[in-house]
Amino acid sequence: MNTKFQNKYRIPSARLKNWDYGNNGAYFITICTSDREHFFGEIVLVNDENEMQLNEIGKLTDQFWAEIPQHFPFVELGNYVIMPNHIHGILIIDKKNVNESNTVVKTLHCNVSTNNTDIVIINETMSKISPKRGTISTIIRSYKSVVTKNAHFIHADFEWQARFHDHIIRDSESFERIQNYIETNPELWKEDKFYN
């Protein structure tokens, strides 16, 4: 196995060390488009209020976010908003009453090789670097993948930023503050750090 570039170009993870991102809890997620390009629509003034007007890709982005619980039955959605160049949303993982063996969602392509040893090495390597089933990373990876696949039929250059931001919501006060932030995001667009 070639180890020439192993970890040389690896960017340190922004994830909280020693936290299992498959644990029950509420997670505030932000996903941006590549270069913060406005792929999802625009903020327009309607009756003296800012309102997000979704274009075709924005509508797909909204639809697929709303469908996350259909593919991951242990996930509930909190507030979410599609903005011109990013999405904010709360994902609530609750695995208490869900049999995880029934929630398998295939997100990786098979690696094909004619040598069984190669297959074992590839599978071991992939299991070390791939997101674990039932985690926030798996959910977001799957979501980004389906949006990208469908967005490419509309705009061939559509791309997500490589990573996403997450924040573990630790109490009800924080949950309510973030829910409110998401809800009012279009109103405060010009003050948003993603505005460009």
Q: Where are the domains of the chain?
A: 25-102+134-190
Q: What is the average per-residue pLDDT within 124-147?
A: 77
Q: Which helix (H) or strand (E) holds 64?
A: helix 56-66
Percent of the chain whose predicted confidence (pLDDT) is above 90: 54
What is the phi-psi region of residue 191: left when phi exceeds 0, alpha when psi lies from -120 to 50, beta otherwise?
alpha
Q: What CA–CA distance (Å, rounded) separates 154 from 56?
A: 8
Amino acid at 1: M
**pLDDT category, 54, cuts 50, 70, 90?**
very high
Distance CA 74, CA 86 (A): 24
Dump pLDDT digits (tens) for 16-46.
Answer: 445 444 578 899 999 999 999 999 999 998 9
Tally of CA atoms within 13 A in the half-sphere of 115 that contains its CB:
4
CATH number 2.40.40.20 is the correct assignment for the domain at 25-102+134-190: no
Q: Where does the pLDDT of residue 105 fall: very low under 50, low under 70, confident under 90, or very high at 90 and above?
A: very low
Higher-pLDDT residue of 99, 155: 155
**pLDDT confidence of 153, banded at 50, 70, 90?**
very high
**Whole-number pLDDT of residue 117:** 52
H or E element at residue 31: strand 25-32
Q: Alpha-carbon distance 91 to 99, whole Å?
A: 18
pLDDT in tens, 67-78: 999 999 999 999
Model pTM score? 0.73
Residue spans of beta strands (DSSP E) within 35-143: 41-46, 49-54, 75-82, 86-93
d(CA 67, CA 100): 18
User: How does residue 96 score in pLDDT terms, banded at 50, 70 and 90?
Assistant: confident
CA distance 107 to 105: 6
Average of per-residue pLDDT values in the chain: 79
**Within 10 Å of residue 150's Cβ, how many Cβ atoms?**
16
Which uninterrupted H or E stretch holds 164? Answer: none
- Of the pLDDT bands very low, low, confident and very high (cuts 50, 70, 90), residue 151 is very high
